Amino acid sequence: MTTQNEWPLWEVFVRSKAGLDHKHCGSLHAPDAKMAIQLARDVYTRRQEGTSVWVVRADQIVASDPGDKDMYFDPMEDKVYRHPTFYSLPDSVNHM
Amino acid sequence: MQASIQLKKDPGVQYLLRLADTCLILAQRLGEWAGHAPILEEDIALTNMALDLVGQARALLTRAGQLAGQEGEGFDEDQLAFLRDERDYLNLTLVELPHGDFAHTVLRNAMVATLLKLLWQRLQDSGDAELAAIAAKAVKEARYHQEHAADWVVRLGDGTDESRARMQAALKALWIYSAEMFDADAVDEHAGASGLGPRWSELRDEWHAEMREILAAATLEPPADSAFRSEGKRGRHSEHMGYILAEMQHLQRAYPGGVW
Protein backbone atom coordinates (compact mmCIF):
# COMPACT_ATOMS: atom_id res chain seq x y z
CA MET A 1 0.00 0.00 0.00
CA THR A 2 1.18 3.51 -0.62
CA THR A 3 -0.05 6.10 1.79
CA GLN A 4 -0.08 8.58 -1.07
CA ASN A 5 -2.91 6.63 -2.65
CA GLU A 6 -4.89 5.55 0.35
CA TRP A 7 -4.33 8.26 2.91
CA PRO A 8 -5.43 11.58 1.39
CA LEU A 9 -3.93 14.90 2.40
CA TRP A 10 -5.89 17.10 4.79
CA GLU A 11 -5.38 20.78 5.51
CA VAL A 12 -5.61 21.73 9.17
CA PHE A 13 -7.03 24.97 10.58
CA VAL A 14 -6.75 25.71 14.28
CA ARG A 15 -8.47 28.41 16.27
CA SER A 16 -6.14 29.39 19.06
CA LYS A 17 -8.62 31.26 21.26
CA ALA A 18 -12.35 31.77 21.35
CA GLY A 19 -13.19 34.83 19.28
CA LEU A 20 -10.28 34.56 16.89
CA ASP A 21 -10.51 33.01 13.46
CA HIS A 22 -9.23 29.61 12.43
CA LYS A 23 -5.75 29.83 10.97
CA HIS A 24 -4.21 27.38 8.55
CA CYS A 25 -1.40 25.69 10.45
CA GLY A 26 -0.35 22.81 8.23
CA SER A 27 -1.40 19.58 6.65
CA LEU A 28 -1.31 15.86 7.35
CA HIS A 29 -2.25 12.49 5.91
CA ALA A 30 -5.19 10.61 7.44
CA PRO A 31 -7.54 7.87 6.26
CA ASP A 32 -10.73 9.82 6.95
CA ALA A 33 -12.12 12.96 8.57
CA LYS A 34 -12.50 11.58 12.08
CA MET A 35 -8.94 10.29 12.19
CA ALA A 36 -7.73 13.52 10.59
CA ILE A 37 -9.22 15.48 13.51
CA GLN A 38 -7.56 13.15 16.03
CA LEU A 39 -4.19 13.28 14.33
CA ALA A 40 -4.43 17.06 13.89
CA ARG A 41 -4.96 17.29 17.62
CA ASP A 42 -1.83 15.22 18.24
CA VAL A 43 0.33 16.96 15.67
CA TYR A 44 -0.76 20.60 16.02
CA THR A 45 -2.48 21.28 19.35
CA ARG A 46 -0.61 19.37 22.03
CA ARG A 47 0.64 22.46 23.80
CA GLN A 48 -2.87 23.87 24.16
CA GLU A 49 -2.55 26.02 21.07
CA GLY A 50 -6.13 25.45 20.13
CA THR A 51 -9.73 25.43 21.11
CA SER A 52 -11.16 24.27 17.79
CA VAL A 53 -9.85 22.35 14.80
CA TRP A 54 -11.10 22.22 11.23
CA VAL A 55 -9.82 19.72 8.73
CA VAL A 56 -10.65 19.75 5.05
CA ARG A 57 -9.47 17.44 2.33
CA ALA A 58 -6.83 19.22 0.29
CA ASP A 59 -8.56 18.27 -2.97
CA GLN A 60 -11.63 20.23 -1.83
CA ILE A 61 -9.72 23.49 -1.78
CA VAL A 62 -9.70 25.65 -4.89
CA ALA A 63 -6.87 28.19 -5.01
CA SER A 64 -6.51 31.32 -7.06
CA ASP A 65 -4.14 31.13 -10.01
CA PRO A 66 -0.79 32.88 -9.40
CA GLY A 67 -1.01 33.97 -13.05
CA ASP A 68 -4.06 36.05 -12.15
CA LYS A 69 -2.25 37.90 -9.39
CA ASP A 70 -1.99 41.23 -11.26
CA MET A 71 -5.56 41.18 -12.43
CA TYR A 72 -6.96 40.10 -9.07
CA PHE A 73 -5.02 42.03 -6.52
CA ASP A 74 -2.97 44.87 -7.97
CA PRO A 75 -5.74 47.37 -8.86
CA MET A 76 -6.56 47.89 -5.21
CA GLU A 77 -3.14 49.11 -4.23
CA ASP A 78 -3.14 52.77 -5.30
CA LYS A 79 -6.72 53.56 -4.39
CA VAL A 80 -6.51 54.53 -0.78
CA TYR A 81 -10.22 55.26 -0.59
CA ARG A 82 -10.78 51.53 -0.85
CA HIS A 83 -9.09 50.98 2.48
CA PRO A 84 -10.81 51.89 5.75
CA THR A 85 -7.60 53.15 7.31
CA PHE A 86 -8.67 56.67 8.21
CA TYR A 87 -10.38 55.71 11.43
CA SER A 88 -8.67 55.29 14.76
CA LEU A 89 -9.86 52.21 16.58
CA PRO A 90 -10.48 52.24 20.31
CA ASP A 91 -7.89 50.25 22.25
CA SER A 92 -10.54 47.85 23.46
CA VAL A 93 -11.03 46.47 19.95
CA ASN A 94 -8.57 43.65 19.51
CA HIS A 95 -7.60 41.47 16.60
CA MET A 96 -8.74 43.79 13.79
CA MET B 1 26.02 -1.70 40.32
CA GLN B 2 23.33 0.14 42.21
CA ALA B 3 21.45 -2.15 44.59
CA SER B 4 17.68 -2.44 44.46
CA ILE B 5 15.46 -0.69 46.96
CA GLN B 6 13.15 -2.58 49.29
CA LEU B 7 9.62 -1.41 49.92
CA LYS B 8 7.55 -2.24 52.95
CA LYS B 9 4.56 -4.40 52.08
CA ASP B 10 1.77 -1.89 52.28
CA PRO B 11 -1.48 -2.62 50.44
CA GLY B 12 -2.16 1.06 49.73
CA VAL B 13 1.29 1.45 48.17
CA GLN B 14 0.81 -1.75 46.18
CA TYR B 15 -2.51 -0.46 44.87
CA LEU B 16 -0.81 2.72 43.66
CA LEU B 17 2.10 0.80 42.17
CA ARG B 18 -0.18 -1.48 40.15
CA LEU B 19 -1.58 1.57 38.44
CA ALA B 20 1.72 3.45 38.19
CA ASP B 21 3.65 0.46 36.84
CA THR B 22 0.93 -0.35 34.31
CA CYS B 23 1.19 3.22 32.99
CA LEU B 24 5.00 3.18 33.02
CA ILE B 25 5.53 -0.15 31.28
CA LEU B 26 2.91 0.56 28.62
CA ALA B 27 4.64 3.91 28.03
CA GLN B 28 7.93 2.05 27.61
CA ARG B 29 6.36 -0.27 25.04
CA LEU B 30 4.75 2.61 23.15
CA GLY B 31 8.06 4.46 23.19
CA GLU B 32 9.52 1.58 21.19
CA TRP B 33 7.29 2.65 18.30
CA ALA B 34 9.04 6.02 17.94
CA GLY B 35 10.12 6.24 14.32
CA HIS B 36 8.51 2.91 13.42
CA ALA B 37 4.76 3.60 13.23
CA PRO B 38 2.85 3.02 9.96
CA ILE B 39 2.77 6.74 9.17
CA LEU B 40 4.32 9.91 10.58
CA GLU B 41 1.08 11.23 12.08
CA GLU B 42 0.39 7.98 13.95
CA ASP B 43 4.00 7.90 15.13
CA ILE B 44 3.32 11.23 16.83
CA ALA B 45 0.01 9.99 18.23
CA LEU B 46 1.57 6.86 19.77
CA THR B 47 4.44 8.74 21.36
CA ASN B 48 2.03 11.41 22.62
CA MET B 49 0.17 8.66 24.42
CA ALA B 50 3.44 7.32 25.81
CA LEU B 51 4.20 10.79 27.16
CA ASP B 52 0.77 11.06 28.78
CA LEU B 53 1.33 7.69 30.43
CA VAL B 54 4.81 8.64 31.64
CA GLY B 55 3.27 11.73 33.20
CA GLN B 56 0.64 9.65 34.96
CA ALA B 57 3.27 7.17 36.14
CA ARG B 58 5.49 9.94 37.48
CA ALA B 59 2.68 11.48 39.53
CA LEU B 60 1.64 8.08 40.90
CA LEU B 61 5.19 6.93 41.67
CA THR B 62 5.87 10.19 43.47
CA ARG B 63 2.77 9.65 45.60
CA ALA B 64 3.59 5.98 46.19
CA GLY B 65 7.18 6.88 47.09
CA GLN B 66 5.99 9.27 49.79
CA LEU B 67 4.11 6.39 51.40
CA ALA B 68 6.49 3.54 50.65
CA GLY B 69 9.63 4.12 52.66
CA GLN B 70 10.83 2.34 55.76
CA GLU B 71 10.53 4.44 58.91
CA GLY B 72 9.43 7.68 57.32
CA GLU B 73 12.08 7.79 54.60
CA GLY B 74 10.36 7.90 51.28
CA PHE B 75 11.56 7.17 47.77
CA ASP B 76 11.39 9.39 44.73
CA GLU B 77 9.94 8.49 41.34
CA ASP B 78 13.35 7.69 39.87
CA GLN B 79 14.26 5.28 42.64
CA LEU B 80 10.95 3.51 42.21
CA ALA B 81 11.27 3.29 38.43
CA PHE B 82 14.94 2.41 38.15
CA LEU B 83 15.81 0.53 41.31
CA ARG B 84 13.04 -1.99 41.76
CA ASP B 85 13.40 -5.61 40.76
CA GLU B 86 10.97 -7.47 38.59
CA ARG B 87 9.20 -9.03 41.56
CA ASP B 88 8.52 -5.58 43.00
CA TYR B 89 6.99 -4.32 39.77
CA LEU B 90 3.22 -4.71 39.94
CA ASN B 91 2.01 -3.87 36.41
CA LEU B 92 -0.52 -5.96 34.57
CA THR B 93 1.16 -8.65 32.49
CA LEU B 94 -0.75 -7.36 29.47
CA VAL B 95 1.34 -4.19 29.17
CA GLU B 96 4.73 -5.94 29.29
CA LEU B 97 4.03 -8.18 26.30
CA PRO B 98 5.99 -7.23 23.16
CA HIS B 99 4.25 -4.54 21.14
CA GLY B 100 3.74 -6.92 18.22
CA ASP B 101 2.26 -5.53 15.02
CA PHE B 102 0.08 -2.44 14.83
CA ALA B 103 -3.08 -4.48 15.47
CA HIS B 104 -1.62 -5.86 18.73
CA THR B 105 -0.59 -2.37 19.78
CA VAL B 106 -3.93 -0.66 19.17
CA LEU B 107 -5.96 -3.50 20.67
CA ARG B 108 -3.84 -3.46 23.82
CA ASN B 109 -4.12 0.33 23.94
CA ALA B 110 -7.89 0.05 23.74
CA MET B 111 -8.02 -2.60 26.47
CA VAL B 112 -5.76 -0.69 28.84
CA ALA B 113 -7.20 2.76 28.09
CA THR B 114 -10.70 1.45 28.81
CA LEU B 115 -9.55 0.12 32.18
CA LEU B 116 -7.61 3.28 33.01
CA LYS B 117 -10.52 5.53 32.06
CA LEU B 118 -12.86 3.61 34.39
CA LEU B 119 -10.27 3.69 37.16
CA TRP B 120 -9.47 7.39 36.81
CA GLN B 121 -13.17 8.26 36.77
CA ARG B 122 -13.61 6.68 40.16
CA LEU B 123 -10.27 7.73 41.56
CA GLN B 124 -11.41 11.35 41.27
CA ASP B 125 -13.37 10.56 44.44
CA SER B 126 -10.40 8.95 46.21
CA GLY B 127 -9.98 9.63 49.92
CA ASP B 128 -6.37 10.53 49.08
CA ALA B 129 -6.63 14.13 47.86
CA GLU B 130 -3.41 13.88 45.90
CA LEU B 131 -4.56 10.78 44.05
CA ALA B 132 -7.90 12.44 43.31
CA ALA B 133 -6.07 15.39 41.77
CA ILE B 134 -3.90 13.11 39.62
CA ALA B 135 -7.04 11.31 38.47
CA ALA B 136 -8.84 14.51 37.51
CA LYS B 137 -6.04 15.33 35.09
CA ALA B 138 -5.46 11.80 33.82
CA VAL B 139 -9.07 10.96 33.06
CA LYS B 140 -9.09 13.47 30.19
CA GLU B 141 -6.02 11.84 28.68
CA ALA B 142 -7.42 8.34 29.08
CA ARG B 143 -10.65 9.30 27.34
CA TYR B 144 -8.70 10.42 24.32
CA HIS B 145 -6.49 7.32 24.37
CA GLN B 146 -9.53 5.09 24.44
CA GLU B 147 -11.24 6.89 21.57
CA HIS B 148 -8.17 6.88 19.36
CA ALA B 149 -7.31 3.23 20.03
CA ALA B 150 -10.92 2.09 19.65
CA ASP B 151 -11.16 3.84 16.29
CA TRP B 152 -8.18 1.84 15.09
CA VAL B 153 -9.62 -1.41 16.40
CA VAL B 154 -12.75 -0.71 14.36
CA ARG B 155 -10.80 0.32 11.26
CA LEU B 156 -8.61 -2.78 11.30
CA GLY B 157 -11.29 -5.24 12.43
CA ASP B 158 -13.72 -3.97 9.82
CA GLY B 159 -11.05 -3.19 7.23
CA THR B 160 -9.37 -5.42 4.68
CA ASP B 161 -9.10 -9.22 4.93
CA GLU B 162 -5.51 -8.81 6.01
CA SER B 163 -6.18 -6.19 8.70
CA ARG B 164 -9.13 -8.22 10.00
CA ALA B 165 -7.01 -11.36 10.26
CA ARG B 166 -4.37 -9.42 12.17
CA MET B 167 -6.91 -7.93 14.55
CA GLN B 168 -8.36 -11.37 15.18
CA ALA B 169 -4.89 -12.73 15.90
CA ALA B 170 -4.28 -9.87 18.32
CA LEU B 171 -7.60 -10.55 20.04
CA LYS B 172 -6.74 -14.21 20.43
CA ALA B 173 -3.30 -13.42 21.82
CA LEU B 174 -4.21 -10.58 24.20
CA TRP B 175 -7.73 -11.18 25.44
CA ILE B 176 -6.72 -13.90 27.92
CA TYR B 177 -4.65 -11.31 29.79
CA SER B 178 -7.72 -9.20 30.57
CA ALA B 179 -8.95 -11.58 33.29
CA GLU B 180 -6.03 -10.53 35.51
CA MET B 181 -7.41 -6.98 35.70
CA PHE B 182 -10.46 -8.05 37.67
CA ASP B 183 -9.14 -10.77 39.96
CA ALA B 184 -10.06 -9.66 43.45
CA ASP B 185 -7.48 -9.80 46.23
CA ALA B 186 -6.43 -8.24 49.53
CA VAL B 187 -4.84 -5.16 47.92
CA ASP B 188 -8.07 -4.35 46.12
CA GLU B 189 -10.09 -5.06 49.24
CA HIS B 190 -7.94 -2.72 51.31
CA ALA B 191 -8.29 0.08 48.74
CA GLY B 192 -12.04 -0.33 48.57
CA ALA B 193 -12.48 -0.51 52.32
CA SER B 194 -10.18 2.45 53.06
CA GLY B 195 -11.69 4.68 50.37
CA LEU B 196 -8.39 4.90 48.47
CA GLY B 197 -9.97 3.71 45.25
CA PRO B 198 -12.31 1.22 43.62
CA ARG B 199 -11.69 -2.51 43.72
CA TRP B 200 -10.61 -3.34 40.17
CA SER B 201 -13.03 -6.27 40.28
CA GLU B 202 -15.90 -3.76 40.51
CA LEU B 203 -15.03 -2.52 37.03
CA ARG B 204 -15.34 -5.88 35.30
CA ASP B 205 -18.86 -5.49 33.93
CA GLU B 206 -18.37 -1.94 32.73
CA TRP B 207 -15.08 -2.82 31.07
CA HIS B 208 -16.62 -5.77 29.28
CA ALA B 209 -19.59 -3.68 28.16
CA GLU B 210 -17.36 -0.97 26.68
CA MET B 211 -15.02 -3.48 25.03
CA ARG B 212 -17.97 -5.43 23.61
CA GLU B 213 -19.25 -2.21 22.06
CA ILE B 214 -15.88 -1.47 20.46
CA LEU B 215 -15.50 -5.01 19.18
CA ALA B 216 -19.05 -5.08 17.86
CA ALA B 217 -18.34 -1.93 15.85
CA ALA B 218 -15.30 -3.77 14.49
CA THR B 219 -17.54 -6.77 13.66
CA LEU B 220 -15.56 -8.89 16.13
CA GLU B 221 -16.58 -11.10 19.06
CA PRO B 222 -14.75 -11.23 22.38
CA PRO B 223 -13.12 -14.65 22.78
CA ALA B 224 -14.61 -17.12 25.27
CA ASP B 225 -13.44 -17.08 28.88
CA SER B 226 -10.30 -19.01 29.67
CA ALA B 227 -8.93 -20.48 32.89
CA PHE B 228 -5.55 -18.83 32.21
CA ARG B 229 -4.56 -16.19 34.76
CA SER B 230 -1.55 -13.92 34.46
CA GLU B 231 -0.32 -12.42 37.73
CA GLY B 232 1.81 -9.41 36.90
CA LYS B 233 0.00 -7.25 39.43
CA ARG B 234 1.25 -9.62 42.16
CA GLY B 235 4.84 -9.37 40.90
CA ARG B 236 4.84 -12.65 38.97
CA HIS B 237 5.67 -11.62 35.41
CA SER B 238 6.11 -13.08 31.98
CA GLU B 239 9.56 -13.75 30.54
CA HIS B 240 9.43 -10.37 28.77
CA MET B 241 9.58 -8.27 31.91
CA GLY B 242 13.23 -8.83 32.78
CA TYR B 243 14.36 -7.57 29.39
CA ILE B 244 12.31 -4.39 29.72
CA LEU B 245 13.82 -3.59 33.10
CA ALA B 246 17.36 -4.45 31.99
CA GLU B 247 17.07 -1.95 29.16
CA MET B 248 15.18 0.66 31.15
CA GLN B 249 17.34 0.53 34.28
CA HIS B 250 20.76 -0.03 32.76
CA LEU B 251 22.14 3.49 33.09
CA GLN B 252 20.91 4.11 36.63
CA ARG B 253 22.29 0.74 37.75
CA ALA B 254 25.65 1.29 36.08
CA TYR B 255 26.10 4.86 37.37
CA PRO B 256 24.48 4.90 40.80
CA GLY B 257 23.01 8.19 41.90
CA GLY B 258 23.78 9.89 38.60
CA VAL B 259 22.01 13.24 38.29
CA TRP B 260 20.14 13.84 35.03
- Give the model confidence (pLDDT) of B185-242 as tens digits: 999 999 999 999 999 999 999 999 999 999 999 999 999 999 999 999 999 999 999 9
- The alpha carbon of residue B146 is apart from the nearest alpha carbon of chain A, in Å, by 12
Question: Would you tell me how many other CB atoms lie within 10 Å of the CB of residue B121?
Answer: 18
The pLDDT of residue B122 is 98
The pLDDT of residue A45 is 86
**Closest among A5, A60, A49, A4 to A25, alpha carbons compared:** A49
Q: Can you give the pTM of this predicted structure?
A: 0.89
Note the ipTM here.
Answer: 0.80
Q: What are phi and psi of A56, to 5 degrees?
A: -145, 135
Query: Is B44 within 8 Å of A43 when comparing Cβ atoms?
Result: yes
Strands A52-57 and A9-15 turn out to be: antiparallel
The residue type of B14 is Q
Higher pLDDT, A80 or B19: B19
The pLDDT of residue B72 is 66
The pLDDT of residue B159 is 93
The pLDDT of residue A81 is 77
Which residues of chain B are under the pLDDT cut of 50? none
**Closest among B8, B117, B137 to B60, alpha carbons compared:** B137
Query: Is B48 within 8 Å of A42 when comparing Cβ atoms?
Result: yes
The pLDDT of residue A5 is 59
- Which chain B residues contact residue A31 at CB under 8 A? 155
- Which chain B residues contact residue A43 at CB under 8 A? 41, 44
Q: Is residue A43's pLDDT more than 50?
A: yes
Asked if B148 has any chain A CB less than 8 Å from its own CB, the reply is yes
∠ CA B55-B59-B61, rounded to 5°: 110
CA distance A61 to A83: 28
Of B41, B147, B155, nearest to A39 by CB-CB distance is B41
Query: Is B41 within 8 Å of A31 when comparing Cβ atoms?
Result: no
Tell me the CA end-to-end span of chain A in Å, nearest whole number: 47
Categorize the per-residue pLDDT at A96 as very low, low, confident or very high, splitting at 50, 70 and 90.
Answer: low
- Give the model confidence (pLDDT) of A67-77 as tens digits: 888 888 777 77
Categorize the per-residue pLDDT at A1 as very low, low, confident or very high, splitting at 50, 70 and 90.
Answer: very low
Of A7, A31, A39, nearest to B45 by CB-CB distance is A39
Is the separation of the CB atoms in B63 and B13 below 8 Å?
no
